[in-house]
Amino acid sequence: MKLTTVIATLLLFLSSCNSGINSSSRQQQGNPANCPQSLPSLAAIAINSEAGFYDAFDYRIHKILADPDTIKFQSNHYDFVFCRGNGNWTMQLGTLQSKSNQFENYEAYMAELADPKQQTVELNGKTYQYRVLLDPNPFPNFQQEAQQVVFELIAPGTQQPQKQVLYTLEQTKESKAGIKLGVPQITATLSYDNRLFWTVSPEQGEGNGGIGTIVSYDPETEKIEVIQPEAIAKQQINDMAIAGDSSNPTFWIATQISGEGNPSLPSMGLVAYNPDSQDPQSGSVNVYHIRNSPIVGAIPSQLNLEADWLWVGTGNGICQIEWQAAENPESWSCWRFALTAELPETGLPLYNSLFSEQPTTTLSFNENNPTVEVLWWLPTDRNNKRGRYEIRYDEGFTVKLDSQGAIPWSEFYPSSDDVPTWKSPLYWSGMYWHWNGDRFERGFDEVSPNFVGGGVMGIGLQEFREDYLREMYSIRGDLDLLNLSRNTTEVKYYSAWIDESLLEPRIAIIPDQYPQKNPQKRQSNPLRNEY
């Protein structure tokens, strides 16, 4: 490799690790000498099966660890570490213990569902035990149907659990949150104002459901309180943090939904709930998602509160928010995950679609920009486990899709309520993209692992080939909307396809540029002008 290429690649890597935070007030004190060093190069992404690529592109944050010098965001494969002293990022091989083999076999898994283990939490030096379960419990024989979800708490010095019904099957049906009770899961446990709090998230899909619930316990009164804001009743709760003082707290809630064959789907995003002091069941709700805020990711998975700052980990990046001024885009600093690969000096033959037989053009080598961004991967030959990468391509291509127009949601789902702000205003081929103020874009966690219905959706043909694959033009490339009618969609997509053997993509974390921070450059969503 030429010396100029080496230097350019190094500069790109260093810039990708720069925090982008200019205000020193956002950096807490820490010693950079205690921060980990950047690895020379992380191993290239390896995809050896269609199921494997879902795992390879899964960057959801599952745990956040903080110490005086660093804050570490752990995903399945990588640790993203922020150095407080200098505001830089480093990336390490993942140290998160996998839960994929939590149960050795199906019988052990069913036994755990039939009799969930007690978990523990400490408050003021005392240990409390807790769990949540279905009642009556249908596992393992499925001879009875669950009628309610029950929270159990064993306080210090007691043997028998204090039980509290969280919601019933009847309530779930009435709220249209499901026709049977899904398995509940405790997703967050925290203490605040000398009280304990838990979030309970319901299983969703195939008719299963439940009500998103916050549980509170006051050791002084020994009372369990159930908080179920109507706005999040149909949401799954990934995590929660409570900010502010006890007279005016803000419950920050990370949400998503699930469906049949779709374990993680974008939903309300980051929710700020301010309960009424007289009635915690009612209060004000503000939502921050990819269509109305700078958040860099559709599905927030983990939260970490540090004084005036709220850290949010998603499947597409990480944000640091001055939570008391979250309405101001300038109060957000975000970094997105990206896959980059070195561009061969011979250039790359580019295809305008997944199955195009002849290259459409060639991407020439550029010493000033010797890398390309890899967006996604799709199989082209399942039997031989071959595929192509979608890469970002600034020149772009144009495609016109006949018989793929746009219709109002009310026509697609006649019984649906008003379209929520976190969904596309219209049902169309690009509804999985969001308007960023300049173009339509799509992050990693906006591409749902769709295990039914033909796999991931994008800009492509609707018809399947004999091998049950479809011609695709773009899965994550930015879009310009050229024409949209009830019968036709025409877009310019800024991506191209290349054979997987020509690139070795590696993970990076780079500052995200959100157009709303410059209102003069932000344009209105063109979909708002349709229909």
Q: What is the pLDDT of residues 218-234, one digit of tens each?
A: 999 999 999 999 999 99
Please indicate, yes or no, whether the overall pTM of this predicted structure exceeds 0.85.
yes
- If one compares 31 and 49, the residue with the highest pLDDT of the two is 31
Least confident of 94-108, 333-347, 457-471, 496-510: 94-108
Average pLDDT value for residue range 254-258? 97
Q: Which residue has the higher pLDDT, 13 or 315?
A: 315
User: Is the predicted pLDDT of residue 490 greater than 50, yes or no?
Assistant: yes
pLDDT of 5 > 50? The answer is no
Q: How far apart are CA 209 and CA 232, in angstroms?
A: 13
pLDDT > 90: percent of the chain:
72
Whether residue 122 contacts residue 139, with contact meaning beta carbons closer than 8 Å, is answered with no
Mean pLDDT of 160-176: 97
Position 147, amino acid:
Q
Mean pLDDT calculated for residue range 377-401: 93
**Within 89-149, where are the H helices?**
106-114
Contact between 386 and 379 under an 8 Å Cβ cutoff? The reply is yes
- Band (pLDDT 50/70/90 cuts) for residue 516 is low
Q: Which amino acid is at 477?
A: G
What totals of helices (H) and strands (E) does the chain contain, helices first? Answer: 5, 34
512 CB burial (10 A radius; 0-12, 13-18, 19+)? buried
Confidence of residue 337 (pLDDT cuts 50, 70, 90): very high
> pLDDT tens, 177-208?
999 999 999 999 999 999 999 999 999 999 99
At residue 237, the pLDDT reads 98
Half-sphere exposure of 433 (CA within 13 A, CB side): 25
Backbone angles phi, psi at 515, to 5 degrees: -60, -25
Beginning with the edge strand found earlier in the chain, give each strand of the sheet holding 162-168 in spatial order.
119-123, 126-135, 148-154, 162-168
Lowest mean pLDDT among 45-49, 207-211, 371-375, 481-485: 45-49
Of 174, 168, 103, which Cα lies nearest the Cα of 140? 103
Place of tokens 């140290």: 95
Nearest C-alpha neighbor of 424 from the set 287, 316, 266, 313: 266
Cis peptide before 300 (omega within 30 of 0): no
What is the rounded average pLDDT of the residues 263-290?
92
Q: Of the candidates 60, 406, 463, 71, which has an alpha carbon nearest to the alpha carbon of residue 263?
A: 60
Lowest pLDDT segment from 10-19, 104-113, 237-246, 466-475:
10-19
E strand intervals along 382-499: 386-402, 434-435, 440-441, 459-460, 472-474, 478-484, 488-499
Average confidence (pLDDT) over 344-367: 95
Give the other-Cβ count within 10 Å of 285's Cβ: 16
Contact 252, 269 (CB under 8 A): no
Higher-scoring residue by pLDDT: 415, 31: 31
What does DSSP say about strands 180-181 and 208-209: parallel, antiparallel, or unpaired? Answer: parallel
- Average of pLDDT values for 244-270? 94
Q: Where are the domains of the chain?
A: 112-334, 339-529
d(CA 32, CA 20): 17
Look at the alpha carbons of 488, 492, 495, 499 in this order and tell me if their dihedral is positive or negative.
Answer: positive
Residues 6+ apart with CB under 8 A from 66: 72, 304, 306
Task: Examine the pLDDT at 3 and tell me if it is beyond 60.
Answer: no
Mean pLDDT of 95-122: 81
